[in-house]
Chains A and B, each alone.
Chain A
Amino acid sequence: RSCQTDALHSDDAGVQTRFSASIFTQTEPQEQTTDLLRQHDPAEPDPPGLLDFLRRTEDLIIRELVKNTRSHAFDGFQADWADRSQRVSCLHRLQHPSAQEKDLHVSSVSWSCTGSVIVCAYGDGDWTNEKSCVCLWNLDRQNLNPKQADLVLEVPTAVTSVCCHPNQPALIAGLYNGEVLVWDTSRTQDPVLVQTGMPAEGHREPVYQRKAEFGVLSSSSGGRVLLWTVDLDRTRLVLDSGYAFIRQQVPHSGRTSMKLQVRGSSTVGVTAVALSPWDPDTFLVGSEGGLLLRCSFSSRTPAAVPAEDRGVVLRAPAVFSFRPSSGPVHSIHCSPFHNLFASAGTDGLVHIHSLLQADPVLSVRVSDSYLFQAQWSPSRPLVFAAATGHPVQFFDLACRALRPAATIEDGAADRAATCLAFNHQNRRLVAVGKSDGSVGVWQLSSDLVDPGPTETAQLEQIANQVSD
Chain B
Amino acid sequence: MKVDVEGTLKRIESYKGVIGTIVVNAEGIPIRSTLDNSTTVQYAGLLRHLAAMARSSVRDIDPQNDLTVLRIHSKKYEIMVAPENNYLLIVIQNPCE
Q: Are A62 and B96 in contact (CB under 8 A)?
A: no
Residue on A nearest B6 in the bound complex, by CB: A42
Interface string of B1-42 (1 = CB under 8 A from A): 001110011011001111000010100011111000110110
Given A46-B5, A47-B31: A66 touches B96 (CB 8 Å cut-off): no
Q: Are A50 and B30 in contact (CB under 8 A)?
A: no
Main secondary structure of the interface of B (DSSP, over half): mixed
Given the complex of chains A and B, what is the CA–CA distance between A100 and B30 in angstroms? 62
In the bound complex, residues from chain B placing their C-beta under 8 Å from that of A61 are: 12, 69, 80, 82, 89, 91
Given A61-B89, A65-B12: A457 touches B29 (CB 8 Å cut-off): no
Q: Are A65 and B15 in contact (CB under 8 A)?
A: yes
Residue on A nearest B78 in the bound complex, by CB: A68
Give A458 Cβ to nearest chain B Cβ, in Å.
Answer: 11
In the bound complex, residues from chain B placing their C-beta under 8 Å from that of A49 are: 86-87
- Interface presence of A234 (CB below 8 A): no
- Interface presence of A9 (CB below 8 A): no
Total A-B Cβ pairs within 8 A: 90
Q: Are A53 and B15 in contact (CB under 8 A)?
A: no
- Interface presence of A64 (CB below 8 A): yes
Q: Are B84 and A57 in contact (CB under 8 A)?
A: yes
Interface string of A68-82 (1 = CB under 8 A from B): 110100100011000
- Interface presence of A60 (CB below 8 A): yes
Interface centre among B16, B76, B95 (most CB of A within 10 A): B95
Residue on B nearest A75 in the bound complex, by CB: B96
- Interface presence of A1 (CB below 8 A): no
Residue on B nearest A81 in the bound complex, by CB: B75
Q: Are B29 and A38 in contact (CB under 8 A)?
A: yes
- Interface presence of A51 (CB below 8 A): yes
In the bound complex, residues from chain A placing their C-beta under 8 Å from that of B41 are: 33, 36-37
Give which listed residue, A34, A40, A53, contacts B87 with CB less than 8 A: A53
- Interface presence of A254 (CB below 8 A): no
Report B's interface with A, CB cutoff 8 A. Answer: 3-5, 8-9, 11-12, 15-18, 23, 25, 29-33, 37-38, 40-41, 68-69, 71, 73, 75-76, 78, 80, 82, 84, 86-87, 89, 91, 93, 95-97
Closest 4 CB pairs of A and B: A57-B82, A68-B95, A53-B87, A54-B8
Report A's interface with B, CB cutoff 8 A. Answer: 33-34, 36-38, 40, 46-47, 49-51, 53-58, 60-62, 64-66, 68-69, 71, 74, 78-79, 453-454, 457
